[in-house]
Amino acid sequence: MAIEVRIPTILRQYTGGAKAVDGAGDTLAAVIDDLEGRHPGLRDRLVDNDGLRRFVNVYLNDEDVRFLDGLKTEVRDGDSVTVLPAVAGG
Amino acid sequence: MLEIRREIVDALIAHARRDHPDEACGIVAGPVGSDRAERHVPMVNAERSPTFYRFDSLEQLKVWREMDDRDEEPVVIYHSHTATEAFPSRTDVSYASEPNAHHVLLSTRDSDAVEIRSFRIVDGEVMEEDLRIVEELGTDGRAAGRSPVWE
């Protein structure tokens, strides 16, 4: 089961420069765990003890997973996950 | 150095004035690797706050996809300060997530004279750079000083 995960410029140091990598799993959390096996360090940039990091946006297809089920959001073969750093400041 | 067309600067200033006293934000996109700020995209400040800004996440996805389709990147990321100078705050530095972008700051604290400055923010370091306002962007190597190509 393959889920395409699109990686932003700032995190490509963990994917050997790749713009997109394939992951597997039934939930977003499982996909991130799966990616961590091949791209160590990536997980820590996406999640902390409280769940998704506040300044990282993760989308399942066209939806922000914060409006779905967060890390527990179910994913299916062929889904696309996009990671974007939030653009924010004061 | 950031070179930017007067027409775009006018649009950024108009956006900052329109959203005052809340912070305004957006990008200027250009072809990947070109460093040419060509296409202004004003964004919604999802925080609608005089002290904080954040791109609306769904709008950001739409705009980032559009850039992907057009082989563009955010050449400029801009936002306004409405009560302080046009210099990156500590929060701006800690959240800066596009190391290749020019960070343009505007200040609308003086309603008669909007201040606009450009910075690089890399690994927590802020470096101010020249912001040159031009009528047209400089031409690239192909157009400058070469013989015309005959077909």
User: Residue B64 CB: number of other CB atoms within 10 A?
Assistant: 23
CA dihedral B90, B120, B109, B84 (to 10 degrees): 20
- Per-residue pLDDT, B140: 53
Averaged pLDDT, A29-47? 97
Residue B88 sits at the chain A interface (C-beta within 8 Å):
yes
Contact A87 B54 (CB under 8 A): yes
Residue A35 included in any domain:
yes
Which of A54, A57, A63, A87 best probes binding to B when mutated, by most B CB atoms within 10 angstroms? A87
> How high does pLDDT run on average in chain B?
91
Q: Which chain B residues contact residue A89 at CB under 8 A? A: 52-53, 79, 88-89, 91-92, 95-96
Complex confidence, ipTM: 0.89
Residue A69 included in any domain:
yes
> How high does pLDDT run on average in chain A?
95
Q: Percent of chain A beyond pLDDT 70? A: 99
CA distance B18 to chain A (A): 18
Averaged pLDDT, A1-30? 94
| Model confidence band, residue B7 (pLDDT cutoffs 50, 70, 90) | very high
- Per-residue pLDDT, B139: 65
Contact A86 B58 (CB under 8 A): no
Q: Which CATH superfamily is domain B2-134 in?
A: Cytidine Deaminase, domain 2 (3.40.140.10)
- Per-residue pLDDT, B111: 83
CATH number of the domain encompassing residue A21: 3.10.20.30
Residue A90 included in any domain:
no
User: Which of B58, B61, B89 has the CB atom closest to A89's CB atom?
Assistant: B89
Do B106 and B88 contact (CB within 8 A), yes or no?
no
Residue A27 included in any domain:
yes
Strands A80-85 and A3-6, bridge-based pairing: parallel
Residue A41 included in any domain:
yes
- Per-residue pLDDT, B151: 38
Q: Which domain holds residue A47?
A: 3-85
- Per-residue pLDDT, A10: 87
Chain A residues contacting B via beta carbons under 8 Å: 8-10, 55, 57, 59, 62, 64, 66, 82, 84-90
Residue A8 included in any domain:
yes
User: Which of B61, B73, B79 has the CB atom closest to A89's CB atom?
Assistant: B79
Residue A59 included in any domain:
yes
| Model confidence band, residue B123 (pLDDT cutoffs 50, 70, 90) | confident
Averaged pLDDT, A17-36? 96
Q: How far from B64 is each of A85, B59, B79, CA to CA, in Å?
A: 11, 8, 17
| Model confidence band, residue B121 (pLDDT cutoffs 50, 70, 90) | very high
Averaged pLDDT, B11-16? 98
User: Residue B13 CB: number of other CB atoms within 10 A?
Assistant: 17
User: Residue B77 CB: number of other CB atoms within 10 A?
Assistant: 23
Residue A70 included in any domain:
yes
Domain residue ranges of chain B, discontinuous segments joined by +: 2-134
